[in-house]
């Protein structure tokens, strides 16, 4: 298996996507993501057959029982699924908050996994 650890802010949620969402007057839970970044992500996933593992702080919304947070994270998952790049898992949250350690913890449970990290 090849895992692609995906951060969101600065990778697919960019200045361009923030401006597009504002221009279109979209609510936060319906924001758009950078179309060019989504194109390159789709191309990378297709060429490597990688599976996406969320390693962004956005994964905090997975553990919050709030309708807005559910809509917010649901929009991300739906958008990436429509893009052909679905999220298959999320790295664990560790008390240290160190993204590198969280990725290593995920990899420890998936021996033999090749990986790449997309972060800003």
Domain spans, the chain: 2-118
Specify the pLDDT at position 28.
Answer: 81
Specify the pLDDT at position 69.
Answer: 86
Q: Mean pLDDT for each consecutive 10-residue tract of the chain (120 residues)?
A: 96 95 90 96 97 94 87 94 98 93 97 95
The tokens for 42 are 């789709």
| Structure letter (DSSP) for residue 91 | P
Specify the pLDDT at position 64.
Answer: 87
Specify the pLDDT at position 108.
Answer: 97
Are 71 and 78 in contact by the 8 Å Cβ rule? The answer is: no
Question: In the CATH hierarchy, which top-level class contains the domain 2-118?
Answer: alpha beta
pTM for the full predicted model: 0.92
Are 72 and 30 in contact by the 8 Å Cβ rule? The answer is: no
């Amino acid at each position: 298996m090849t895992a692609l650890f995906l951060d969101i802010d600065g990778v697919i949620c960019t200045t361009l996507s923030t401006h597009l969402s504002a221009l279109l007057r979209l609510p936060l839970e319906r924001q758009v993501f950078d179309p060019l970044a989504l194109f390159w992500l789709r191309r990378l996933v297709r060429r490597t057959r990688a599976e996406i593992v969320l390693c962004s702080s956005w994964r905090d919304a997975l553990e919050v029982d709030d309708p807005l947070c559910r809509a917010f994270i649901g929009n991300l998952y739906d958008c990436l699924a429509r893009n052909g790049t679905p999220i298959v898992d999320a790295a664990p949250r560790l008390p240290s908050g160190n993204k590198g350690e969280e990725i290593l913890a995920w990899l420890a449970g998936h021996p033999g996994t090749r990986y790449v990290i997309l972060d800003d």
